[in-house]
Amino acid sequence: MKKKIELIIQKELNNLIGKKFSKSYICKYILPIIQYIDKTHDKKFIISGSQGSGKSTLSKLIKIIIEKTSSKKVMLLSIDDYYLSKIDRYNLSQQIHPLLITRGVPGTHNIKKLKEHLGQFKKKQFPIITPTFNKLKDDISKKTKVFNKADILILEGWCCGAKPIENKFLYKNLNKIERDLDKDFKWRKYYNSKLKNEYQQIFKTFDRTIYLQPPSFHFVLKWRYAQEKNNAKKTKTKNFMNKNATKTFILYYEKLTKWMIKSMPANADMLIKVDKAQKIEKIIYYD
């Protein structure tokens, strides 16, 4: 049975990212993560990591394998699908701070709707209809996802499970956006306050947190730009961020990403260390 599952994982990974991984790699690094979720009595999991770390691919793979090899159903949610609409972020930028027009940081998600859907899962109130977000249009899509049944819930996203940023690090200017466009720290204090309150209320309801840790923030630009090109290729569009635009875009994520690289190992139940080639090099269990 184990060999059969390894073959299924190998095939599905190839379908997802177009790469064939060895059975030894799958056995050592992929299968244990899937079993970690499938074999426990816990039902709610966070999978987080920087942009390009592989969290979305891993989450999709876990859902596929569990549903193919057991009778369980997985409700996979991405916090990215809960971004506020373009008009809502515009209004937020007018009311609070201009930088909030750009999606990403805590405070730019519809946490109320996410909380509602988590509550429905807990009460088994199916079907659960969740939103999707069109990143090319930078707005909420008309398409939705429908979950008619679920035994396991996975929430994946770059900031999921993050703890509030300590003031010493929050007030340190890391890039030109913080230095030139957030001189009074209003943007930073706003999203950190959201992270400390509404987001922690959500994160605390989960049983376990899995964090994919990149070697450093340096690789996030490379990985994020590769994502842009791959998504453009898949959707056959020329409307994607070039390298300079991507470099500017990830500045909005820099502080919290670096904070998570530093703080998440102490707050995760499973730490997955990812190397510069986006492959898993080590798994550490903390529970």
Element (H, E) at 264: none
Both tokens assigned to 205: 């309801």
pLDDT band for position 80 (cuts 50, 70, 90)? very high
- The percentage of residues in the chain with a pLDDT greater than 90, rounded to a whole number, is 82
CA-wise closest residue to 209 among 99, 124, 132, 286: 286
**Lowest model confidence (mean pLDDT) among 36-50, 77-91, 185-199:** 36-50
Say which residue the tokens 């059969």 belong to. Answer: 4
Confidence of residue 232 (pLDDT cuts 50, 70, 90): low
Query: Residue 203: its pLDDT value, please?
Result: 98
Domain residue ranges of the chain, discontinuous segments joined by +? 2-285
Mean predicted lDDT score pLDDT of the chain: 94
**Predicted local confidence at residue 32, as pLDDT:** 95
Determine the pLDDT at residue 238: 64
Give the per-residue pLDDT at 246. 86
Residue 245: band (very low, low, confident or very high) from pLDDT cuts 50, 70, 90: confident
Query: Residue 231: is its pLDDT beyond 80?
Result: no
User: Is the predicted pLDDT of residue 270 greater than 90, yes or no?
Assistant: yes
Tens digits of residue pLDDT in 122-179 = 999 999 999 999 998 999 999 999 999 999 999 999 999 999 999 999 999 999 999 9
d(CA 104, CA 109): 8
Q: What is the pTM of this model?
A: 0.94
Question: Do 50 and 255 form a contact (C-beta atoms < 8 A)?
Answer: no
What class does CATH assign to 2-285? alpha beta
